[in-house]
């Protein structure tokens, strides 16, 4: 867990395959702006515990971790911010426990739109059998591919990103990484030293913990039935890159367009032109400015 600063509590929830290290530039900026910033390695990642049981990675468990963290820090309330898989944690934390999480921001992944059927079954019924969610379901398959060469995996994932929607589909006999290039140059926002932090952590932890989050997708749909069509009424913020495959295409674009239905107090929807999926690392200055402006509205630092 990374912690810095004093003031109102702000929790930063990272995604997959990332770490608390992904928030390194936000931790410094938000702490300097007068906030107590805490970024944990999420359940199953980095130095955090990684239960063996797949069922231990449901949205109730991951949100429960954040509720428990607020209490363990001696606080009663917090602003919660999440990116990638951390965004659903943040959105649901605000939905489940508005008494604790007084404001929420999501990066790259829009707020939850609970469909009328289980997500994986809906994909299959639509004739889709090679979406990456589906590839991740069988324990051991994705782990074997991703752990074969952790350095190559992390270079491919972070440097290539997800700007092409086709990168979310797994071609037969090519795996999730496809034609990975060990000499792929790093983008300007990621140094070899930064990449080394991710490589070292995943060589120790492996990928099983994070992949187990995906193995709860249909179970999460079942667990959240009581919140069908529930709004998130706290002040909210959404940030994403225009070149992020997660918000492109028919489904992603519609969710971004319609998010006010779930977020009636959406203060800002910031789409950064030309940016990709790893938004808080790639566009740190713009993300930091947007987060600080939001925090000053919803949780002014004394």
Q: How far apart are CA 266 and CA 263, in angstroms?
A: 5
Q: Give the bridge partners for 205, in sequence order.
A: none
Q: Where are the alpha helices (DSSP H) in 128-283?
A: 132-135, 141-148, 150-155, 192-205, 208-214, 217-223, 249-257, 279-282
194 is catalytic: no
- DSSP conformation letters of 227-253: GTT----S-EEEEEETT-GGG-HHHHH
* Vertex 128 angle, CA 92 and 82, to 5°: 20
Q: How far apart are CA 90 and CA 67, in angstroms?
A: 11
Catalytic residue among 14, 83, 92, 277: 277
Q: CB neighbours (10 Å) of residue 91?
A: 27
At residue 170, φ and ψ (nearest 5 deg) are: -100, 115
Residue 98: strand, helix, or coil: coil
What tokens were used for 86? 């951390």
Torsion angle, alpha carbons of 244, 246, 250, 255, to 10: -110
83 is catalytic: no
Catalytic residue among 61, 65, 84, 244: 84
Q: Which residues are catalytic?
A: 84, 277
């Amino acid at each position: 867990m990374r912690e810095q600063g004093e003031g109102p509590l702000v929790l930063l929830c990272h995604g997959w395959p990332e770490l608390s290290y992904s928030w390194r530039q936000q931790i410094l900026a938000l702490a300097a702006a007068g906030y107590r910033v805490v970024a944990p390695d999420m359940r199953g990642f980095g130095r955090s515990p990684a239960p063996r049981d797949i069922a231990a990675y449901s949205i109730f468990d991951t949100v429960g971790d954040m509720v428990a963290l607020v209490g363990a820090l001696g606080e009663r309330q917090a602003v919660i911010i999440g990116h990638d898989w951390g965004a659903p944690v943040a959105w649901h934390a605000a939905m489940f426990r508005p008494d604790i999480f007084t404001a929420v921001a999501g990066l790259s992944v829009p707020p939850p739109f609970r469909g009328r059927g289980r997500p994986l079954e809906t994909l299959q019924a639509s004739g889709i059998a090679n979406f990456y969610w589906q590839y991740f379901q069988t324990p051991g398959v994705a782990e074997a591919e991703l752990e074969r060469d952790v350095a190559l995996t992390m270079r491919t994932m972070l440097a290539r990103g997800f700007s092409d929607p086709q990168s979310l589909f797994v071609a037969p006999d090519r795996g999730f990484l496809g034609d990975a290039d060990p000499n792929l140059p790093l983008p300007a926002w990621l140094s070899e030293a930064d990449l080394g932090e991710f490589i070292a952590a995943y060589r120790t932890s492996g990928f099983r913990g994070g992949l187990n989050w995906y193995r709860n997708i249909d179970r999460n749909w079942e667990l959240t039935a009581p919140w069908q069509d529930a709004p998130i009424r706290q002040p909210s913020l959404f940030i994403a890159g225009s070149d992020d495959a997660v918000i492109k295409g028919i489904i992603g674009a519609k969710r971004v367009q319609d998010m006010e239905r779930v977020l009636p107090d959406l203060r800002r929807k910031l789409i950064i032109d030309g940016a990709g999926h790893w938004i808080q690392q790639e566009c740190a200055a713009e993300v930091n400015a947007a987060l600080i402006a939001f925090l000053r509205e919803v949780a002014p630092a004394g």
